[in-house]
Amino acid sequence: MNKYGYILSGIGALVLCTGWSCSSESAIQQVLGVRAEAPVFLGCKAVSTQEISFQFSLPVRVVSLHFDPPLEVTSITEGTQVDVMVNQELQGGAAVTVNMLVEDSQRNTLNLLVPFRTKNDRLPSVIITELRTEYAKPKAEFVELKTLSPGNLGALRLFIASNGDKPVFEFPPVEVGAGEYLVIHLRSLEEGIRNETGTDRGASQGTEAFPDSRDFWVPDTKERLRKTDVVFFLDQDDRILDGVVLSENSDTSWAKAELAEAANRVNSQGGWFPSPDPHDAVPTKGTTVTRSISRNETAPDRNKAEDWYITATSGVTPGKANTLKRYVP
């Protein structure tokens, strides 16, 4: 407390109290001639394998900075954009947490504890090859990918529109070759399951975890994929690497805003044609636990519903090439 009766807290809040009431921020500025608001953190991004950028609403200087796992900082550029350089190249897509204390010119402070992924410049080209929207314990819904080139999976993100705007799964750093099948099981239902990030593709013991493919598991047991949904993968620059639009009914419009928004996004980035409407989606009526939604892997990818079909009964093949036997209603 100084002679003017105001307090700056550790998060930059400013309060001025008199004997009658607490004044508003505008009144504080008139009396003291200082800015009352604290800086606001707007986000961070790894822009290279050795540089991380932090954005703020106001110019700030860094008071303290720590990374977990520990990293040695070689330089910091301050302002509304704080650029931090470290002394080593980071593994692409690795999980890092930063603990940072900053302050602005008025000594308003802001303490951050923020997780982020390191920059991955070696994402492989991938394509969605199979999906199961139905569930019968211990068989969970899944999304299957196939790699078309070698690379590192780190920070590749799976989004499913019915789950909101947060990724359903984010890959850890994993080195892969071309032609590998990757299965993301959308529920964790059994003991012995694990993400196969190393060379042992038979490490996981879960149902439908086969040794010829890599298996990954989304924690807990919630439903995440529905017959009417939009599924897509994003890189760290929010570019769509592949997507598929699903609809149980050939309606003229989406029943939910999040589905319409996701379908429009995939369509606008060239990931789905000819339109983002349900009548141009993959028709999913008839899919079951034993009948999956599969891509014709023998034909070119046109990003259209015609690329897809529902397999015949017992045609589900997680982690393997798709069967060409089709369901006939």
Distance, CA of 293 to CA of 247 (rounded, Å): 11
CA distances from 50 to 74, 115, 174, 265 (A): 10, 16, 19, 31
What's the half-sphere exposure (Cβ side, CA atoms, 13 Å) at 108?
21
Tokens representing residue 2 in the block? 């100084």
3-state secondary structure of 279: helix
pLDDT in tens, 100-154: 999 999 999 999 999 999 999 999 999 999 999 999 999 999 999 999 999 999 9
Task: Judge contact between 147 and 156, C-beta under 8 A.
Answer: no
**Domains along the sequence of the chain with CATH:** 1-37 (no CATH), 41-117 (2.60.40.1220), 126-310 (2.60.40.1260)
Percent of the chain residues past pLDDT 90, beyond the cut: 87
From residue 47, give the alpha-carbon distance in Å to each of 51, 52, 158, 181. 6, 6, 21, 29
Residue 225 CA to residue 236 CA, distance in Å, equals: 23
Question: pLDDT averaged over the chain?
Answer: 90
- pTM value is 0.86
**Is it the case that residue 7 has pLDDT exceeding 50?**
no
* Token pair listed for 252: 């003229």
Tokens 């900053």 sit on residue: 102
Distance between CA 145 and CA 128 in Å, rounded?
A: 4
State how far the Cα of 243 lies from the Cα of 271, in Å rounded to an integer.
6
Cα distance between residue 52 and residue 269, in whole Å = 27
Q: Rounded distance, CA 173 to CA 153, Å?
A: 6
> What pLDDT does 9 receive?
32
Question: What confidence tens digit (pLDDT) does each residue in 226-277 have?
Answer: 999 999 999 999 999 999 999 999 999 999 999 999 999 999 999 999 999 9
pLDDT at 25 over 70: no
Can you read off the two tokens belonging to residue 227?
Answer: 């017959």
pLDDT at 37: 82
Answer positive or negative: Cα dihedral of 134, 138, 143, 146: negative
Q: How many residues does the chain have?
A: 329
Is 16 a residue whose pLDDT tops 90? Answer: no
